[in-house]
Amino acid sequence: MQGYKGHIGAREGSVLLFAVLGSMLFLQYPQYLVDAGGPAAWQVALLITVFGLVFALPIVALGRRFPGHGLAEISLKTAGPLLGPLLTLVVAVWLAAVTMVALRNFTETFVITILPETPPSVLVVVGTGMALFTAYQGAEAVARTAYVLLPLIAAGVVLVLIFSLPRVDATLLFPIWGYGIDRTVLGGLYYASMSAEVIVLLAMGHAFRDGRSLQHSSLRGILLFGVAAALTVVVLVGIAGTPLARQDPFPLYYLSRLVYLGRFLQRTEALIVMFWILAAAVRVSALLYATAISLAGAIRLPDYRPLLFPLAMILASLSLLPKDYLSVLTLDRNWVRPLGFAVLAVPLLLWILALIRGKGAASHDP
Amino acid sequence: MIRRLAGRAFLLGLLLPLMAGCWNRVEIEQGAYVLAVGIDEGKSGPYAITVMIAKPSALAGKEGGGGNEPPVLLTTVEAPSLASARDLLHGYVSREVLFYHAQAIFVHEKLAREQGLPFLDEVLRFRQLRETAFIVVSREPAEEVLRRLKPELESNPVQYLEQLTYHHRDSGVIPATSQVSAVAALLNVGYAQPLTYYAATIDEEAETPRGSESPDVEFTAGELPRRGGTPVEMIGAAAFHGSRVVGVLDGEETRALLMLQNRFYTAHVAFRDPRHPEQYVTVHLSQGRPTRITVERLGERPAIRAEVTLEAELVAVPSGTDYFEPASQLELEQAIASQLLETMNSVIARTQEWEADVVGFGRHAIRHFPTVQAWEAYDWPSRYPEAEIQTSARVSLRRFGLTLTPTQASEEGGAQK
Amino acid sequence: MPSATGAILLRRRGGYSARIRTGTLDPETGGVRVNIWERLKRLLDPSTSLGDDTFVLEDDGGPGHGQEPSAEMVADARMRTEAMLTRLERLMDAAPQGKDALEKVGDLSTSLDANLQKLKDLFRAPRNKDLIDRSILIATEPPVRAVLLFMEGLSDKTVINDNIMEPLMLLAQELHLTPGQGHDALDRIEQRLLAGHQVSRKYDQSSIAESLLSGDTIVLVDGAAVALAVETKDPPTRSVGDPKTEQVIWGPHDAFNEAWRVNVALVRRRLKDPRLVTEILTVGDVSKTYVGMMYIDTIVPPALVDEVKRRVEAVKVDIITSSGTLQQYIEDSPRSLLPSTLITERPDRTAAYLSEGHVALFVDTAPHAIICPTTFWALLQTAEDYYLRWPFGSALRYIRLGALVIALMLPAFYIAVVNYHPEMIPTAMMLFIAQSREPVPMPSVVELLAMDVVFELIREAGTRIPGVIGPTVGLVASLVLGQAAVEARIVSPVMILVVAITGLASFALPNYLMGWGVRMLRFLLLLLTTVLGFMGLAAGIYVLVVYATAQRSFGVPYLAPVVGTTGRVKDAISTPPLYRQEERPPYLPLLNRRRQKEVVRSWDPQAWQTDSPEGG
């Protein structure tokens, strides 16, 4: 991967990160936020954004120090030939776990909501096929597809929120401090790894035009996600109220089912789900690509493409392992998300090492 | 060689969709679409579920398809839930019963009073049902109501119902449940108790005139003083405490409720003429300023003040009084306000009696609590019956219709007092 | 006669048998009268049956088979080898003499008759009646023998008569010229006698042949091993006409025709700049088609010019028939369903693209220009968008974008809704559709596919049918077939509506090739949706977008400028006002970005003015 000139700009990168993170809003993550904060879930969302931005800072610093390099190369240069690939491997394994969980989670969501009789394996195969095709075309294809599809994905969120506005009852957002500030902050801390996928951008670091693009992409993407999450949670609690929002695993689907504009526009949630499928496809493609490239970098392969097909098959089969929907949720919430903290520590470690050992471009570009 | 095999395999794969199945595909004409559901107590099973299935050829508006043939198929099964009712229905209904288009759910009042609304879990869980369906509590068994739901102006009975629900905007006699679904309200009873529509049928053959003895116009469902028209009436509201019905409000009370809830739009209302108490003045009421509800004191006995501001336009003054004079205007405004106050107070008293805060004062009280724990410790539903609620109403007479002075036949001479 | 050679070429089975059929000659009418018995005998006698009489041309399969090549190929190879050997010899002789001498090395001899015979052999004259040779005596003192060679039909007879033959044969006398020796004679003839506007010297047979085949006239002079080629090209062409596929209502109506020189001229009168360069490339061994490449020197990135030239010169085929074929040879992804070069028949559009830094290729005998590179959004644009005022141009483009979406997705969307999510349709409409579909026995998908096939048949029939009956077919098909199909309960009325709207939308797309691509993709999306509902549709859309994003056209991302560029995106879908488009589109690494001053409407007191006197 030396000599590869990347072309992804700040605009495309931030949209990519927004699509990867924002697709989580279509799953049960708003429910987690309401679970933590009750009526003050929007505060939890804002806290998560702030934490996410803080956690992204080491990545931004690494990107500025090593422009045009991806995670694998940075860790190799900074941590040496033994520790470096090990750290990259840790990140790759976590990314693989996230891919697998995302694949299964989305499949279950789509089966439950719009295709009840279709066997999940079919959807998993379709999803994996799409991700494989996209990842094969390269990082630019993933980022640019996300950029082109952004209006549709955004429509999936914005339309639902706008059409639900007449039903919002602002008093449902009270009491204003939810379960108390202490619980809100704790909840924010627990779910702060929700934006851990920002490491995907670092894994794709070589595909960015320069360090500034990486920086802008990470920060803007997390910011956009935070705003979208806060808005979603506000509308959700304002319509459904805290008790319902805490128990409903498909919050945005619930909202889209309530869309009822006179006699003409009703029951259109299937169309909204179609937009979500696009977001899910972007997420799985980006994650698969990041996994493949990190893995390839860790074991020093010159190209990541030979890894794609076996990796896809392994992930597809693994994703069908959990027995039911609840075990997928448990796996995600109790294992994968907390491990995200460990993964976010990797760039921090690398950055400290780079500072100590003085590696990388010491000049600070504006 | 491999490429040729792959090419042929691909072509064969293209034929796959033509095989039946594809797991979820349903041809649109193979569905029996349920338009409305009725739930009564069952004799042998837990519930008696009546479904109203649309007959497309009759309802689609083809000439000759209407006539005397009913455009829907009504049938009842005894089953524990709507989804399991499908199994029984599939024993004799030739198409696949689908609840996607179910717009209305009728519940017998007796069932709702005794057992509550137990099918609500299914409304949330079953993907074919959705919350935007209207829930209507009916005085008579739901089966009977559905059977007699034969609208005159529309061919689709559920469209008729839907049109009826739009009346909350122009006469305010039914609750605004299309905007706040009953289900959501049910799960948030800490804030406010839910309301649903209330319907009843009339007995067409009865000879005795309906209506009570009092000269006031009766607005209760099933007791409307009228002749002719569809046998089903939907007016007023059913008030819930939790998931059980605890009381029924009539049309006037519902209107007062809407005013208190700040969801009142417009209505044409008849009030007693203050100068001629045996006659009525009809005004077009509409909302002036938003209703202001202030919580003055919390604690053992919460104190709440509600201020309703309305605007009025004169529509009919049969007594001939000239209300164009400022003094008479004031008199009329105060008379209207006092009559409205009377209704509002009676509504509040009744809801306090039922211990059900259907107006939603709790939503305003909650602002004063910092955390959910504090709110739950306060336990508003138990404090509500003891609350002191003061209502005030202000009516401003803005416009007078198309004429200014009262109209009299000329032989009666001059303007009377 | 049976041919013993050429297993590859042809084989006559046996031979023609002697004529068996005899009759008597009728003296009165002059015809042959055959009586009944003779006719019957012909049917019954096996020796008179068809058997050996039919001419059969079959390929035994594969070249060679150990047989020698045919006489024709041997003769051809001999001619070429001779010419090449002669050239090699002279090259070696001329090498020590310097570059000038090297350029003049050829394979002609100084004898006029030898040259003439060689050329005649090359052209298979006198078998080939197209090559005309005219021997003349040039009227110098003493006269010199010369031969004029030209191709009948390709050359302008008037110019040959008036400007070549008349001066050489008649007017030279007035000048009392002496011919001089060898090459001097040639100089004198070229400079003082030949009154043609382009005269060049040809040294070897293949360039003479190329010249002749383009329509030039060759003058061979006795004693010189050089031929003079006078430009007398007059190929048969149409006059400049209307565009056939890219009509506009509000703009120029001239279109390219089949002569590439005319096309270049049409462009050149719109871009009167000396920096506009036309290079000539030749493609095809047998067709030797001229391909003209135009670009503006200081605007186009030089890397692009080199790449285009590299690709065109690398094409090794025997013939190029049209721009469509050349396009497939030089495109980045020839198997993609969306074209990555733009083919246009309008000179104004070509001029616009040239001024934005693209390269245009003109293939002789094709009434099109190939614009490289192109982006996806260019396929949705027409020239009219700029001639109208900018809000109307934007509106037109949005309509076309909507047409693209409809043409691609409406059938699939319909199937997804009707088959998988009937709850999306309002109740009344849903019941109507259900009721209208009841008498139809087929599933919705089969119905849709059948109607689609019928629609494609109508379209193809309408294209191929002779012009007089054309409109009738359209009328019959649309009205009668549609109505009759509905009443025969084969399709439901909603389906006809869906198919008709989709068809109309696919014809609203301005680019013909893209229309085809969209039609194919529509079937693909339909298939996916049939199996998986909205999931299939979403998967199809996603894969399409990824595919389009990853495609490149001569190095430019296919979806530029929406992706792959920084800064604001102008002029991809909506047209900004013309007076605000100060920069050329950003997706090409142009040498010169700015094309108009910031304040174009400098006369307007209301326009924003800048501080600098230049205005940008």
Residue range B225-275, pLDDT digits in tens:
777 778 888 888 888 888 888 888 888 888 888 898 888 888 998 888 888
Phi, psi of B107 (to 5 degrees): -125, 135
Flag whether residue A270 sits within 8 Å of chain B, measured between CB atoms. no
DSSP B29: G
Q: Which of B217-231, C176-190, C454-468 has the highest mean pLDDT?
A: C454-468
Q: What is the largest CA-CA distance in chain B?
A: 110
Flag whether residue B60 sits within 8 Å of chain C, measured between CB atoms. yes
Flag whether residue C454 sits within 8 Å of chain A, measured between CB atoms. no
Q: How many domains does chain A have?
A: 1
CA distance B127 to B129: 5
Closest CA to A41 of A247, A211, A237, A216: A237
Q: Answer yes or no: is pLDDT of C240 > 80.
A: yes
Strands (E), C297-405: 342-344, 359-363, 369-372
What length is written for chain C?
Answer: 616
Q: Answer yes or no: is pLDDT of B66 > 70.
A: no
Least confident of C346-360, C372-386, C535-549: C372-386
**Average pLDDT, integer, range B295-315:** 88
Nearest chain A residue (CA) to B186 = A244
Q: Answer yes or no: is pLDDT of C43 > 80.
A: no
Check residue C11 and give its pLDDT: 39
**Average pLDDT, integer, range C288-304:** 90
Check residue C61 and give its pLDDT: 60
Tell me if A200 is assigned to some domain: yes
Domain that holds residue A18: 10-361
Tell me if A21 is assigned to some domain: yes
Q: Which two tokens stand for residue B414?
A: 């001059």
Flag whether residue A257 sits within 8 Å of chain B, measured between CB atoms. yes
Nearest chain B residue (CA) to A242 = B188
Q: Answer yes or no: is pLDDT of C63 > 70.
A: no
Flag whether residue A129 sits within 8 Å of chain B, measured between CB atoms. no
**Which distant-in-sequence residues (6+ apart) come within 8 Å of A243 by Cβ?**
B187, B188
Nearest chain A residue (CA) to C542 = A278
Give the model's confidence band at B309: pLDDT under 50 very low, under 70 low, under 90 confident, else very high. Answer: very high
CA distance C214 to C209: 9
CA distance C566 to B4: 45
- 8 A C-beta contact, residue A42 and residue A234: yes
**Which distant-in-sequence residues (6+ apart) come within 8 Å of C614 by Cβ?**
C597
Check residue C21 and give its pLDDT: 57
Q: Answer yes or no: is pLDDT of C213 > 60.
A: yes
Residue of B3, B15, B23, B29 to mutate for C, most C C-beta atoms under 10 A: B29
**Average pLDDT, integer, range C51-79:** 71
Quote the Cα angle for C432-C433-C438, to 5°.
Answer: 100
CA distance C548 to B48: 57
- The distance of A268 to chain C (nearest Cα, Å) reads 5
- The distance of B370 to chain A (nearest Cα, Å) reads 5
Q: Answer yes or no: is pLDDT of C15 > 80.
A: no
**Which distant-in-sequence residues (6+ apart) come within 8 Å of B297 by Cβ?**
B303
DSSP A77-105: HHHHHHHHHHHHHHHHHHHHHHHHHHHHH
- 8 A C-beta contact, residue C256 and residue C348: no
Check residue B195 and give its pLDDT: 78
The CA–CA distances, whole Å, from C284 to A159, C235, C330 equal 57, 19, 14
Tell me if A366 is assigned to some domain: no
Check residue C179 and give its pLDDT: 61
The CA–CA distances, whole Å, from C472 to A112, C469, C484 equal 52, 5, 17
Query: Cα dihedral sign for B352, B358, B361, B362?
Result: positive
Contacts C436 to B, Cβ<8 Å: 60
Provide, rounded to the nearest whole percent, the portion of chain A with pLDDT above 70: 95
- 8 A C-beta contact, residue A207 and residue A143: yes
Q: How many CB pairs under 8 A join B and C?
A: 80
**Which distant-in-sequence residues (6+ apart) come within 8 Å of B334 by Cβ?**
B274, B395
**Average pLDDT, integer, range C448-461:** 86
Nearest chain C residue (CA) to A145 = C546
Tell me if A258 is assigned to some domain: yes
Check residue A263 and give its pLDDT: 67
Quote the Cα angle for B72-B78-B79, to 5°.
Answer: 105
pLDDT 10s digits, B152-195:
777 788 888 888 888 888 888 888 776 566 777 777 777 777 77
Check residue C346 and give its pLDDT: 92
Chain A neighbours among C 504-533 (CB < 8 Å)? 532-533
Flag whether residue B57 sits within 8 Å of chain C, measured between CB atoms. yes
For residues B18 and C581, the model is more confident at C581
Tell me if A173 is assigned to some domain: yes
Half-sphere exposure of C402 (CA within 13 A, CB side): 8
What's the distance, CA B71 to chain centroid? 25
Give the model's confidence band at C502: pLDDT under 50 very low, under 70 low, under 90 confident, else very high. Answer: very high
CA distance B251 to C292: 85
Look at B18 and C431 and tell me if their CB atoms are within 8 Å. Answer: no
Check residue B416 and give its pLDDT: 47
- AA identity, residue C115: N
CA distance A210 to C483: 62
**Average pLDDT, integer, range C218-229:** 87
What length is written for chain A?
Answer: 366
Query: Cα dihedral sign for C118, C121, C122, C128?
Result: positive
Q: Map residue C32 onto helix, strand or coil.
A: strand
Q: Answer yes or no: is pLDDT of C264 > 90.
A: yes
Check residue C433 and give its pLDDT: 87
Tell me if A62 is assigned to some domain: yes
Check residue A208 and give its pLDDT: 85
Strand order in the sheet with C217-221: C131-138, C144-151, C217-221, C227-230, C199-202
Provide, rounded to the nearest whole percent, the portion of chain B with pLDDT above 70: 87
Strand order in the sheet with C359-363: C276-283, C289-296, C359-363, C369-372, C342-344
Check residue C182 and give its pLDDT: 58
Q: Which residue has the tokens 């776990």?
A: A97
Nearest chain C residue (CA) to A8 = C564
In this structure, the number of other CB atoms found within 10 A of the CB of residue C298 comes to 10
Check residue C610 and give its pLDDT: 59
Tell me if A169 is assigned to some domain: yes
Q: Map residue C547 onto helix, strand or coil.
A: helix
Check residue C54 and give its pLDDT: 67
Closest CA to A88 of A287, A286, A284, A296: A296
Helix (H) or strand (E) holding C161: none
Q: What is the mean pLDDT of chain C?
A: 82
- 8 A C-beta contact, residue B304 and residue B289: no
Flag whether residue A149 sits within 8 Å of chain C, measured between CB atoms. yes
Check residue A91 and give its pLDDT: 92
The CA–CA distances, whole Å, from A299 to A84, A201, B210, C352 equal 10, 20, 89, 51
Check residue C4 and give its pLDDT: 39
Q: Answer yes or no: is pLDDT of C210 > 50.
A: yes
Contacts B162 to A, Cβ<8 Å: 263
Residue of C429, C531, C535, C537 to mutate for B, most B C-beta atoms under 10 A: C531
Check residue B103 and give its pLDDT: 86
Check residue B345 and give its pLDDT: 92
Torsion-angle region of A80 (φ positive above 0: left; ψ -120 to 50: alpha; else: beta): left
CA distance B118 to B81: 9
Check residue A223 and give its pLDDT: 93
Quote the Cα angle for C266-C271-C273, to 5°.
Answer: 130
Check residue B217 and give its pLDDT: 63
Check residue B236 and give its pLDDT: 85
Check residue B415 and give its pLDDT: 47
- The pairing of strands C32-33 and C144-151 is unpaired
CA distance A111 to A253: 13
Gyration radius from chain A CA atoms:
20
Tell me if A3 is assigned to some domain: no
The CA–CA distances, whole Å, from B246 to B138, B260, B290, C358, C375 equal 13, 20, 29, 79, 68
- The pairing of strands B104-108 and B134-138 is parallel
- AA identity, residue B213: E
- 8 A C-beta contact, residue A313 and residue A28: no
Q: Answer yes or no: is pLDDT of C129 > 50.
A: yes
Look at B187 and A38 and tell me if their CB atoms are within 8 Å. Answer: no
Torsion angle defined by CA atoms of residues B180, B186, B187 and B192, in that order, rounded to the nearest 10 degrees: 70
Give me the residue from A9, A130, A144 closest to C539, CB to CB: A130
Closest CA to C418 of C529, C564, C287: C529
Phi, psi of C583 (to 5 degrees): -120, 150
- 8 A C-beta contact, residue A146 and residue A17: no
Nearest chain B residue (CA) to A171 = B363
Look at B100 and C422 and tell me if their CB atoms are within 8 Å. Answer: yes
Q: Which of C41-45, C194-198, C605-609 has the highest mean pLDDT?
A: C194-198
**Average pLDDT, integer, range A244-273:** 82
Number of helices (H), then strands (E), belonging to chain C: the values are 21, 14
Q: What is the mean pLDDT of chain B?
A: 81
Chain B neighbours among C 203-262 (CB < 8 Å)? none
Flag whether residue C555 sits within 8 Å of chain A, measured between CB atoms. no
What's the distance, CA C24 to chain centroid? 57
Query: Cα dihedral sign for A342, A346, A348, A352?
Result: positive
Report the CATH number that the domain containing residue A187 is assigned in CATH.
1.20.1740.10
Closest CA to B237 of B283, B199, B181, B182: B199
- 8 A C-beta contact, residue C597 and residue C412: no
